[in-house]
Structure 1
Amino acid sequence: MANKIFMIMTFIGVPLSVMGSLMHWPSTILFVIYCLTIIALASYMGRATESLAVIAGPRIGGLLNATFGNAVELIISIFALKAGLTGVVLASLTGSVLGNLLLVAGLSFFIGGIKFKRQTFNIFDARHNSGLLMFAVLVAFVIPEVFSMRMSEGETLSLSVGISIILIALYLAALFFKLVTHRGVYQSESSGQTHEEEPEWSKMKAIVILALATIAVAYVSENLVHTFHDVAKSFGWTELFIGVIIVAIVGNAAEHASALIFAWKNKMDIAVEIAIGSTLQIAMFVAPVLVLVSLLFTKSMPLVFTLPELVAMASAVLLIIIISNDGESNWFEGLTLMAAYIIMGIGFFLL
């Protein structure tokens, strides 16, 4: 039923998006059409990566899901950087970290916990990811903020570029560690669950759908960025709220949906890999890449977040580490993570 709804939304939304942008419809109407179209396209990206996850296994499947889910956010952010909206980009990165760690993980734990009293996932991966989360958010994001207080804009940008290169190098090393040198070394009891079902689509069909959906998302995302200013004025929203909540939820719709499906099927290794793996990819790859890409545009983006953004991300990281480090989850832990997300959402709305 849900698949049919998303199919209808896609076949109506894409032509409407093209017509609306050519005929210059009001920005608020276009904003809603673009957001719904991206979510519908993201469902196809989610189903394609789910098929690839069944074929490739939990780690590679989770990585693929996070990568293509984050591709939407990366595309939106590049167009926003081109438009000079560095504040929206930094806010959307914050929103992705909060959304993945608190909303996606929280909903996965909650929905899976309703069906199963106790769910388990790879404790070794959880502990490995905890160290990387601490490094990416509490070291790499906090350092530029603290040091920039005594630096010029040029020096802050140079520091950001240096940190970005180190983050990308460490992220690639982490992938090499998990997928090559230590693949299969740290196994959990639930690691064998991935191959129980047949993939919905064949490998080739999934890749083709993934490619087409990504191209469509790129087109709609570019138009979505141009509506931000007018929508902010109409609804009285700040750029910070649009970035942290709206762009982050729309941009990560694909992985949100996939993680919940896997949690409901008691495939927590993949669900957790999507939620936490996606956060690591945002913090250690997408954010640094955007800093480097911004050097090509008129307005460069240093890796300096506002104090509320940093505190919110640090709190989310500490909370998910404490909750997930035992390799088990239940519905109450999920509810706790979602409550934290709602509290932060209210704060950013009122800020």
Structure 2
Amino acid sequence: MPAQAGLNINYGLPVMVLLPLAAAAKIFHWHATVVLVVNIVAIVFLSEAISISSEELEEHLGELQGALLNATFGNTVELTAGTLALVHGEIPFAQSVMVGSILSDILLVFGCCLVTASYNKDVLEFNGALAKTLSSLMMITAVALLLPTALYSTFPVSEIDSRVLSFSRGTSLVLLILYAGYLYFYLETHKHLFISCEHNFDEEDEDVELSTPRTTASLASSVIRLVTAVAATIFCTELLLESIGDMAETLGTSHSFIALVFIPLASNSTEGVTVISSSRSGNTDSAIQVIIDSLLQIGLFAISFLVIMGWCIAEPMTLFFDSFQTVAMFLAILVVNHLLRDGQYAYIHGAMLIALYSGLVAAFYTR
């Protein structure tokens, strides 16, 4: 996904202004709302910087290495927030960030894409082979994340934690292998399923960003920019986590609401603007690929990575999420899967996905 089609704003200057403000907010103990806004806006521009740098490196490294790079850095904010929360023993917060990212991608971003693509148009159709393939992977991910909840009702109370922990670690290894298989499927054996939508995506990007030239940055400069942006993202995310208590009290909400809504929205803003802009021509195949790929990165890679990392640092991170969050995520994936399997869509389908996301946000706020 060409990141240059994103916000179309020079991210360098805002970041240079926002990072000192974020540091000042910490040093001088500014109001929690100011800390939240400054760091969230900074993360938005840093996400764009990471996306652009990753795309530049992909041109230097090739498809396979580029795909692995995107898997690692494509969800930097979620991975950073999850890792920092895990290190501090805040496992529910780490899990909430992952769930929130999945929900914002498949409901809010995808819903906006469908509305943009099909408004004032007749009923349109998806690429059947691509949609069915990705929807199957999406359902496998959902089932894997739902199984620990089912296991909790079958084990004796005295054995629940150890059994579910063992199951989660073993399943995470399987999910990582499945993600590697998906990359091989995508890059080697079934490229033809993705070529047409990638070609259309590139053409649409050129129409959207006529004023933005493609960069031909050197490998060294791209690496430096990527490392710098990741380090700045870690800094801003750490500031957010340190102020979570004050933010939750000021906003009158829970810690999990900030993890479920604010952090994913900041992280997915660049990606969302990109795919929504590209879907204006009515071709949503590229949007499906980007959104479902992001879901697979979170569900198969990021969550599994956190479970394995927790195993390494002796933190009991599992695939057993909050029951309400698990049900909400599974139902959302089920709805999107049904839409993809149906093969046809109109703008009303996108409006329903956006409405479902809004309802879930309201439910998370009131919990």
**Deviation per CA, 1:181-216, whole angstroms, max 9, x where unpaired?**
2222x3676553244338632254666544432222
Aligned to 1:192: 199
Report the aligned-residue RMSD.
Answer: 3.2
Matching of residue 88 in structure 1 with residue 93 in structure 2: yes
Q: 1:15 to 1:247 in 2, by over 3 A?
A: same
Matching of residue 238 in structure 1 with residue 251 in structure 2: no
- Counterparts of 2:60 and 2:286 in 1: how far apart (Å)? 13
- Unaligned ranges ≥5, structure 2: 1-5
Matching of residue 159 in structure 1 with residue 167 in structure 2: yes
Deviates more, 1:327-336 or 1:59-68: 59-68
Q: 1:341 to 1:100 in 2, by over 3 A?
A: same
1:124-273 equivalences in 2 (<5 Å): 124-138=129-143, 140-149=144-153, 150=155, 151-184=159-192, 186=193, 190=197, 192-196=199-203, 197=206, 200-202=214-216, 204=218, 209-264=225-280, 268-273=284-289
Contact kept in structure 2, 1:63 and 1:273, CA below 8 Å: no
Deviates more, 1:164-173 or 1:118-127: 118-127
Matching of residue 311 in structure 1 with residue 327 in structure 2: yes
Q: Report percent identity of matched pairs.
A: 27
Deviates more, 1:305-314 or 1:98-107: 305-314
Contact kept in structure 2, 1:121 and 1:327, CA below 8 Å: yes
Of 336, 343, 346, the match for 2:362 = 346
Contact kept in structure 2, 1:47 and 1:258, CA below 8 Å: no
Secondary structure class of the residue paired with 1:171 = helix
1:255-294 equivalences in 2 (<5 Å): 255-264=271-280, 268-294=284-310
Secondary structure class of the residue paired with 1:152 = helix
Contact kept in structure 2, 1:80 and 1:225, CA below 8 Å: yes
Secondary structure class of the residue paired with 2:145 = helix
Contact kept in structure 1, 2:32 and 2:243, CA below 8 Å: yes
How far apart are residue 112 of structure 1 and its match?
Answer: 2.7
Paired AA for residue 201 in structure 1: T
Secondary structure class of the residue paired with 2:75 = helix
- Counterparts of 1:84 and 1:160 in 2: how far apart (Å)? 17
TM-score between both structures, scaled by the size of structure 1:
0.87
Secondary structure class of the residue paired with 2:74 = helix
Q: 1:62 to 1:297 in 2, by over 3 A?
A: closer
TM-score between both structures, scaled by the size of structure 2:
0.83
Secondary structure class of the residue paired with 1:303 = coil
Q: 1:263 to 1:47 in 2, by over 3 A?
A: farther
- Unaligned ranges ≥5, structure 1: none
